[in-house]
Amino acid sequence: MITKRIIPCLDVRNGQVVKGVNFEGLKNVASPVELAEYYSAAGADELVFYDITASAEGRSLFTDVLKEAASKVFIPLTVGGAINSVSDFDRVLKCGADKVSVNSGAIKDPSLIPAAAKLYGDQCVVLSVDVKRVDGKFTVFAKGGRENTGMDAIEWIKRGVANGAGEIVVNSIDTDGVKNGFDLEMLSAVCDAVSVPVIASGGAGGYDDFITLFKALPKVDAGLAASVFHFGEVNIKQLKQKMKDNGIEVRL
Amino acid sequence: MVAIIDYGVGNLFSLLCSFSAIGEKAVATADPAVIKNADRIILPGVGAFSDAAKKLRESGTYELIIDEAQSGKPLLGICLGMQLLFEKSYEYGEHGGLGLIKGSVMPISEFIPEGLKIPHIGWNGLIFKKETPIFKYINNGDHVYFVHSYHACECDGATTAVTEYGGYLTASVQDKNVFGTQFHPEKSGDTGLKILKAFTEI
């Protein structure tokens, strides 16, 4: 049976990982390529590279990093951040990305998802959504969670899937950074609404949070996190062993 | 040298890198002279069957691939490239393929219970059905990376491995020197590199 995926997310600015920490055997903690190799060897099922660069110089550094990572790491790579057009898809796919994640770019231009899906296939288009409860309603936020769009998150996600998004990353702003577990209520609502893979993001604080996620919501396909992996609070190899011990299908 | 057929479908960057990682020279090409000169051929592919079959014909390599395979040169089709090896596909109508392996390509929705997500995306285990040289360095149960909504059927004689997703889906095939993997060896970590390595030793 298909396994549950564990996905570390690397924020990259000007060619360097933003939240680096010291792992044994890792020479340069800020090197996205070294970190990618480290995670791949530890059993990560996929990697997300998130480009948080603001400048054009930084952007070309990012594609250099991506190329180098793709030449050394042979697991699926998803790229997000600053994806606003089909030519942005083209730019990162040529450098070794397998999937491209859109967020604010799709909010600004809703035709981006159908255009990219037609060119590269649904499997290539990941819709990433930052969601926060506003007056008890799941609401879409743009620009890294700073701007309330007023849009209903479930409707936006359903529309994205109908337009060709092949996967959904649900990042709960309410649980992000709290380290008290994933947002099960929000994830459950998304899983009930769509039939494409759903990736949970925001709130992982320890091993048990991943176990709880996959046990409580068997429809969730993957767990994504950044700091718990970067700070060494969760070791991917141990996490996957614990998942297996709890009867969750994993790739060891 | 491995010739990776470049016919404008999908990007070949990762495939080229994976051969370089195992120390094997590979080129992405549609040049008949290079393909004829190569020791082995890879037929990649993503997207829709009919579109890919059309582009393969337009690239001028369609007949050449058939000739080279029939002359005994090892050929490996990957993902949609594997599906193109078959006689026909029922993806949005009925379309002809290279016909190098007997069988057809059908939607996986007809083989798995309702409620399972399609495409079948992610890491799944291989269940070996028949010995094949490309698996000589890996083990039954090893996980590989799949992304597909269609799979090969009526090819029992050629099936070398299946994977379980509510039902059994064809994961790999072989007929003499013609091989196919529905999964992506270039995205399947060490297991995938070992499969490519074994292919280069045939």
pLDDT tens-digit map of B17-32: 999 999 999 999 999 9
Partners of residue B151 on adjacent β-strands: B106
A235 burial type by CB count under 10 A (0-12 exposed, 13-18 middle, 19+ buried):
middle
Q: Which residue has the tokens 């397998």?
A: A98
Give contacts of A 124-163 with B, CB under 8 A.
none
Judged by a CB distance cut-off of 8 A, whether residue B64 touches chain A is no
First to last CA, chain B: 12
> What is the average pLDDT across B132-154?
96
> What is the average pLDDT across B140-154?
95
Residue B66's pLDDT is what?
98
Give contacts of B 95-124 with A, CB under 8 A.
117-124
Q: Does the pLDDT value for residue B70 go beyond 60?
A: yes
Q: Which residue has the tokens 């070794």?
A: A96
User: Does some domain include residue A231?
Assistant: yes
Judged by a CB distance cut-off of 8 A, whether residue B191 touches chain A is no
Partners of residue A7 on adjacent β-strands: A224
Q: Is A192 a catalytic residue?
A: no
Residues with Cβ < 8 Å from B62, sequence gap 6 or more?
A: B56, B98
Domain limits at A139?
5-245
ipTM entry = 0.92
With H, G, I as helix, E, B as strand and everything else as coil, classify residue A10. Answer: strand
Residue A28's pLDDT is what?
66
How many whole angstroms separate alpha carbon A43 and alpha carbon A51?
Answer: 23
How many whole angstroms separate alpha carbon A43 and alpha carbon B182?
Answer: 22
Q: Which of B21, B145, B165 sits opposite A76 (nearest CB)?
A: B145
How many whole angstroms separate alpha carbon A214 and alpha carbon B29?
Answer: 44
**Chain A residue numbers touching B120 (CB-CB < 8 A):** 2
Most A CBs within 10 Å: which of B14, B49, B162, as the mutation test of the A interface?
Answer: B14
A146 burial type by CB count under 10 A (0-12 exposed, 13-18 middle, 19+ buried):
exposed
Residue B35 C-alpha, separation from nearest chain A C-alpha, in angstroms: 23
Low-confidence ranges of chain A (pLDDT < 70): 19-29
User: Does some domain include residue A86?
Assistant: yes
CATH number at A119 reads 3.20.20.70
Count of domains forming chain A? 1
How many whole angstroms separate alpha carbon A237 and alpha carbon A239?
Answer: 5
Judged by a CB distance cut-off of 8 A, whether residue B188 touches chain A is yes
How many whole angstroms separate alpha carbon B78 and alpha carbon B99?
Answer: 15
> What is the average pLDDT across B109-120?
90
Judged by a CB distance cut-off of 8 A, whether residue B47 touches chain A is yes
Judged by a CB distance cut-off of 8 A, whether residue A37 touches chain B is no
How many whole angstroms separate alpha carbon A251 and alpha carbon A240?
Answer: 8
User: Does some domain include residue A162?
Assistant: yes
Residues with Cβ < 8 Å from A190, sequence gap 6 or more?
A: A153, A154, A157, A168, A170, A198
CB atoms within 10 A of CB A143: 12
Confidence of residue B156 (pLDDT cuts 50, 70, 90): confident
Q: CB–CB of B187 and A76 under 8 A? A: yes
Residue A119's pLDDT is what?
85
Judged by a CB distance cut-off of 8 A, whether residue B127 touches chain A is no
B116 burial type by CB count under 10 A (0-12 exposed, 13-18 middle, 19+ buried):
middle
CA angle A92, A98, A99 (to 5 degrees): 80
Q: CB–CB of B21 and A71 under 8 A? A: yes
Residue B123's pLDDT is what?
98
User: Does some domain include residue A206?
Assistant: yes
Q: What domains appear along chain B, each with residue ranges and CATH number?
A: 2-200 (3.40.50.880)
Q: CB–CB of A74 and B188 under 8 A? A: yes
Q: Is B184 a catalytic residue?
A: yes
User: Does some domain include residue A128?
Assistant: yes
The reported pTM is 0.94
- Show the tokens assigned to A41: 């060897």
Q: Which residue has the tokens 């890996």?
A: B138
Positive or negative torsion for Cα A242, A180, A204, A195: positive
Q: Which of B13, B46, B119 sits opposite A94 (nearest CB)?
A: B13
Instruction: Mean pLDDT check: name the lowest of A53-62, A96-105, B68-77, B87-96.
Output: A53-62
Residue A45 C-alpha, separation from nearest chain B C-alpha, in angstroms: 8
User: Does some domain include residue A218?
Assistant: yes
Residue A17's pLDDT is what?
87
Q: What angle, rounded to 10 degrees, do the helices at A56-70 and A86-93 form? A: 40
Q: Which of A3, A167, A222 sits opposite B143 (nearest CB)?
A: A3
Q: Does the pLDDT value for residue B78 go beyond 90?
A: yes
Q: CB–CB of A5 and B11 under 8 A? A: no
Q: CB–CB of B117 and A40 under 8 A? A: no
How many whole angstroms separate alpha carbon A12 and alpha carbon A30?
Answer: 9
Evaluate whether B73 touches B177 at the Cβ level (below 8 Å). yes
Residue B131's pLDDT is what?
97
How many whole angstroms separate alpha carbon B142 and alpha carbon A147?
Answer: 45
- Show the tokens assigned to A147: 């701007």
How many whole angstroms separate alpha carbon B156 and alpha carbon B194?
Answer: 25
User: Does some domain include residue A250?
Assistant: no
| Choice among B79, B95, B153, B155 that is catalytic | B79
> What is the average pLDDT across B110-134?
94
Residue B6 C-alpha, separation from nearest chain A C-alpha, in angstroms: 14
